[in-house]
Amino acid sequence: MMLNSMRTQDVLPTNLQDPLEILRWAGRGFPQGLVLASALGPQSIVALDLAVKAGLDLDVVLLDTGLLFDETLELATRLETRLGVSIQRLKPALTLDEQAEALGEDLWETDPAQCCEIRKVKPLANRLADASAWITGLRRTGSLVRAEVESVEWDAVHGLVKINPLAWWPRARVFEHLHSHNLPYNPLLDDGYASVGCRPCTSRVRPGEDERAGRWRGRGKTECGIHHRLAAAQPQEEAAQ
């Protein structure tokens, strides 16, 4: 049975906390059309590794904004070799030159929200239109904004079930998994960066800062918008047949 008729939190297995158990549930419920989308942060790499171990049939997409660090692009190639997967580079409709001509130079400085909308939010929304459900690396301890993330939840923005297998893992456990399984990760994480996104909007963090403090520093935001949560009531479950 496909599970996108299960649209309310009371029918989704939000009580699950073990990542492999969550991913196996996803594989049973969504045998086709699963998408794992990320910028190849450490938690997404762990989620991908576990998804491969769980035998999931899924597509992996990297939100390639045209502004990623070289280290991130090189990491994608390394992960393809290490995990035996193919990572689709999901690009925006506008090149950087086209964006500058239409909206001005350095849009990430003048209107970072619009820049994220063009280069990340819209491309992902278009890709998820063909998905049955999607997987992320979101964790509750990633930031205050993410503190209420559930292991499995209804994504009203995209009209899909959203699966967050590492929702209950702390950052330390993510890195423990990376190291113990000899998984490649972004070397910038060993150079003062706690979260890596686009070059113009990513900076090193200072001791004691939130792990996303280096994202869009001074721009009044810490999220790109792809994980926006609607406050409106969710649609009711259709009768299961």
Which amino acids are annotated catalytic? 224
Task: Using alpha carbons, select from 164, 228, 171 the residue that is nearest to residue 16.
Answer: 164
**Residue ranges with strand state E in the chain:** 34-38, 58-63, 87-90, 133-135, 152-155, 160-163
Distances (CA, A) of 38 to 123, 136, 137, 143, 160: 12, 7, 7, 17, 17
The neighbouring-strand residues paired with 89 are 62
Count of other CB atoms within 10 angstroms of residue 162: 23
Max CA distance (Å), the chain: 54
